[in-house]
């Protein structure tokens, strides 16, 4: 089992890179703006090309978040799969599926940022970080940083899961 720490480091690096790609390059503007919409806090989206305005509630927010999380997880699967192959790492299919499912589920839970009801906001408030969560000044966005830390933590757990029964050539 001497290869497991190296496999873990490689998979964590690959999924971290894929996370940034999925969140900032693959996610479209619509999903980024609408994924936290709810009936109590609707989001009006203005299409940058057509300038058409559409308003979205809970169903639209859930759909946008689901779409984002699917493309995000697919990006992780592609990057980690191709990178692992290039490095001669064979990840057990069940471990890969479990790791990607964890990444998908925790990403969805964090990204459905319904004001006053979102998981991260609730955790931040209960742990005394509510003020930081709401901070959007001095070049800092607290919600963004807490979101990133949440994802990094769960990606670490997912990388550990993915090393289960892995082999190297």
Q: Point out which residues pair with 141 in neighbouring strands.
A: 136
The per-residue DSSP string of 35-72 comes to TT--SSS-EEEE-TTT--EEEE-HHHHHHHHHHHHHHH
Q: Point out which residues pair with 44 in neighbouring strands.
A: 55
pTM of the prediction? 0.93
Q: Give the model's pLDDT for residue 1.
A: 45
Q: Give the model's pLDDT for residue 81.
A: 97
- The Cα–Cα gap between 169 and 119 comes to 41
Q: Give the model's pLDDT for residue 93.
A: 96
Taking all residues of the chain, what is their mean pLDDT, rounded to a whole number? 95
Structure tokens at 4: 């497991």
**How confident is the model over 67-86, as a mean pLDDT?**
98
pLDDT in tens, 32-55: 999 999 999 999 999 999 999 999
pLDDT interval class at 76 (50, 70, 90)? very high
Q: Give the model's pLDDT for residue 2.
A: 61
- Give whole-number Cα distances, 100 to 11, 38, 80, 151, 155, in Å: 12, 26, 10, 12, 9
pLDDT in tens, 17-32: 999 999 999 999 999 9
pLDDT in tens, 120-150: 999 999 999 999 999 999 888 999 999 999 9
């Amino acid at each position: 089992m001497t290869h497991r720490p190296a496999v873990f480091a490689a998979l964590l690096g690959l999924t971290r890179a894929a996370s940034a790609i999925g969140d900032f390059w693959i996610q479209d503007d619509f999903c980024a703006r609408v994924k936290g919409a709810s009936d109590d806090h609707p989001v009006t989206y203005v299409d940058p090309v057509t300038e058409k305005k559409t308003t979205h509630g809970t169903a639209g927010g859930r759909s946008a978040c689901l779409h984002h999380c699917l493309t995000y997880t697919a990006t992780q699967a592609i990057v980690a799969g191709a990178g692992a192959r290039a490095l001669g790492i064979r990840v057990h299919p069940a471990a890969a599926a479990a790791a990607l499912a964890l990444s998908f589920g925790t990403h969805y839970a964090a990204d459905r940022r319904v004001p006053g009801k979102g998981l991260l906001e609730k955790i931040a408030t209960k742990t005394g970080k509510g003020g930081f969560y709401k901070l959007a000044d001095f070049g800092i966005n607290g919600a963004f940083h807490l979101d990133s830390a949440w994802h990094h933590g769960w990606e670490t757990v997912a990388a550990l899961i993915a090393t289960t029964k892995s082999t190297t050539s």
